[in-house]
Structure 1
Amino acid sequence: MVIVEYVPMIDPNALEGFDGRCIALPETRQLDVLAGLLERRGAQVIRCPLVSILDTPDQISVATWLKHFIHDDTVRDLILLTGEGVSRLLDAAERHYMRPAFEAKLARVRKISRGPKPGRALREIGLVSDVVSVKPTTAGVIETLATLEFVTDRVAVQLYGSEPNLPLQNALRARGLEPMPVAPYIYASEMDDVRVLDLIDTLAGGQVDAIAFTSQPQVRRLLDLAHEHGREEALRTAMAGMLIAAIGPVVADLLDSRGVHVDVVPEARYFMRPLVDAIAAKFTAP
């Protein structure tokens, strides 16, 4: 069964960068945005959303966290790891009739963000990050925390996905601080196993010039499913012969740890357009 659809490129002679090359996109949330950026520069695109983001099913714990965050005067700092987390917390506060109080508390606490994305979500409600980590990684947050003073020992932490991020929590505890974590969303499979395996077969068929990863769960799902179904060798062979792009250092580090080479990472701004620019630059380099 063939399920991977090729999307016709738009006027390949009009714009420079890709010259009809085929790019696989595991992106879900901004798939059409990323695909459009590539198509307008002459690429062919394979849309293959591997994961989706859902509100955590444990809404009771989120509501409990919101109440403590709002009413506990000893909580003066909030670490925000993702823009998605900010948006999900605001939505949860709305559902539980706490949004005005939550926004008011957000305005009062020191907001420590992992990179620029939480700040973008905060700006939608008229707020900004007070501190931005030196690097958009957990290690960058930990490095930044070492430069800060804390007036209380309780620090709220918005996690990404269902991962507890023990390195960050342990770093806080090592400083005598008590993390107050919340996980407002989870990652779930977007494509069923058969469709992902079809994608792996397409990659192994040599029809794809590059694949662009925009999150860690995409990497894990593709590699783990290939391993489970005996296609890991074929996938790794295929990926060894194509350009591998990562939207930022967090994704690149995971790929590297899983034995996958990374050819392209944007230098400073870890968003869709810089990713496309970096891929195009790699393809057009002499």
Structure 2
Amino acid sequence: MTESVSFGGFDGRCVALPEARQLDVLAGLLERRGAEVIRCPLVSILDTPDQTSVCNWLKHFIEDDEVSDIILLTGEGVSRLLGAAERHYLRPAFEGKLAAVRKIARGPKPGRALREIGLSSDVVSPVPTTQGVIDLLPTLEFTTRRVAVQLYGSEPNLPLQQTLRTHGLEPMPVAPYIYASEMDDARVIDLIDTLAVGKVDAIAFTSQPQVSRLLGVAQQHGREPALRQALSGMLIAAVGPVVADLLGNRGVHVDVVPEDRYFMRPLVDAMAARFAARSVAGG
């Protein structure tokens, strides 16, 4: 039996979703809680076109006895590395090396991907951010100098790499995937115009590239004032502190961030609770 609208907390409110990877999952969670959903994926994730560098990194990681630690920043990265290892006939060796090294994870998501192959994170940063990992490093002892680092997107994460060097360590980074535009500019502008009409009650951001894409297209096409005006009148939800910080730095208020678990279901729960509170208050 599906949840009723009255139980859901959304009561027919309209929510825009820039999510791409798990769009149907997130949309389903909202619709079962009584929301009307506008699907508007802004970015997609692709394997990096530089597969040669990924293959070389995999071989180095597998064969180098000086690598006894790996920092995993995203679950997506773990999955992409496993896929690349499969394509290059290195998967058994890669999984074996992953099992042997200490796996330092930025929050819980890498651990979820590792569980797919029967492994788990050995150390998890309490705060799922780069800074959380940086703060964790002084508490760890390293038996070898070289540390493998799985990056997210094409971002080199210089603060993390520099911190490793400051501690006398040598980062060995790999970027197994990239963010790519999934919608052309015209469709992003259509979304901005839809938001500007004022009939959308909330928008839920689940990654930083979504924020950058939406604001970037608005600025390039003279829609930034209209977009900011629209955003100022709706509920803005962020899946976690990393996305919330970017929104705040770009001058966008954030109303909802899950308190402890930065996944889709807690995000939907937090949004429903905020709307329910507004209904009680008569807002």
| Same fold, judged at TM 0.5 (above) | yes
Contact (CA 8 Å) 2:42, 2:182: kept in 1 or not? yes
The whole-number CA distance in structure 2 between the counterparts of 1:262 and 1:154 is: 39
Contact (CA 8 Å) 2:202, 2:236: kept in 1 or not? yes
Contact (CA 8 Å) 1:12, 1:43: kept in 2 or not? no
Contact (CA 8 Å) 1:134, 1:143: kept in 2 or not? no
Is 1:98 paired with 2:52? Answer: no
Partner in structure 1 of residue 57 of structure 2? 65
Is 1:126 paired with 2:113? Answer: no
Q: In the comparison of the two structures, how many residue pairs are matched?
A: 277
Partner in structure 1 of residue 162 of structure 2? 170
Partner in structure 2 of residue 151 of structure 1? 143
Deviations 1:260-280 (A, max 9, x none): 000000000000100000000
- Report how far residue 14 of structure 1 moved: 5.3
| Structure 2 counterparts to residues 45-84 of structure 1, below 5 A | 45-84=37-76
Unaligned 5+ residue runs, structure 1? Answer: 1-9
- Report how far residue 11 of structure 1 moved: 8.4
Identity of aligned residues (%): 80
Deviations 1:193-231 (A, max 9, x none): 100000000001101000000000000000010000000
The whole-number CA distance in structure 2 between the counterparts of 1:71 and 1:12 is: 55
AA in 2 matched with 1:205:
V
- Report how far residue 15 of structure 1 moved: 3.2
SS in 1 for 2:70: strand
Contact (CA 8 Å) 1:210, 1:244: kept in 2 or not? yes
Is 1:243 paired with 2:235? Answer: yes
- Report how far residue 242 of structure 1 moved: 0.4
Is 1:192 paired with 2:184? Answer: yes
SS in 1 for 2:139: coil
Contact (CA 8 Å) 2:106, 2:132: kept in 1 or not? yes
Tell me the TM-score normalised to structure 1 length. 0.95
Partner in structure 2 of residue 282 of structure 1? 274
Partner in structure 2 of residue 112 of structure 1? 104
SS in 2 for 1:163: coil
- Report how far residue 145 of structure 1 moved: 1.0
Contact (CA 8 Å) 1:63, 1:93: kept in 2 or not? yes
Contact (CA 8 Å) 1:12, 1:20: kept in 2 or not? no
The whole-number CA distance in structure 2 between the counterparts of 1:253 and 1:165 is: 16
Partner in structure 1 of residue 265 of structure 2? 273
Of Structure 1 and Structure 2, which has the larger fraction of its residues in helix? 2
Task: Indicate which of 145, 148, 160 corresponds to 2:152.
Answer: 160
The whole-number CA distance in structure 2 between the counterparts of 1:16 and 1:100 is: 45
SS in 2 for 1:188: strand
Cα RMSD, aligned residues only: 1.0
SS in 1 for 2:7: coil
The whole-number CA distance in structure 2 between the counterparts of 1:240 and 1:171 is: 37
Deviations 1:33-62 (A, max 9, x none): 000000011100000000000000000000
The whole-number CA distance in structure 2 between the counterparts of 1:12 and 1:202 is: 27
- Structure 1 segments of 4 or more deviating over 2 A? 10-16
The whole-number CA distance in structure 1 between the counterparts of 2:186 and 2:101 is: 47
Q: Residues 233 and 153 (structure 1 numbering): CA distance in 2 closer, same or farther, change over 3 Å?
A: same
The whole-number CA distance in structure 2 between the counterparts of 1:92 and 1:121 is: 15
AA in 1 matched with 2:43:
V
Tell me the TM-score normalised to structure 2 length. 0.96
SS in 2 for 1:15: helix
Is 1:231 paired with 2:223? Answer: yes
Q: Residues 14 and 107 (structure 1 numbering): CA distance in 2 closer, same or farther, change over 3 Å?
A: same
The whole-number CA distance in structure 1 between the counterparts of 2:100 and 2:94 is: 10
SS in 2 for 1:171: helix
- Report how far residue 134 of structure 1 moved: 1.8
AA in 2 matched with 1:137:
T
- Report how far residue 13 of structure 1 moved: 3.9
Is 1:259 paired with 2:261? Answer: no
Contact (CA 8 Å) 1:15, 1:40: kept in 2 or not? no
Unaligned 5+ residue runs, structure 2? Answer: none
Contact (CA 8 Å) 2:8, 2:32: kept in 1 or not? no
Partner in structure 1 of residue 35 of structure 2? 43
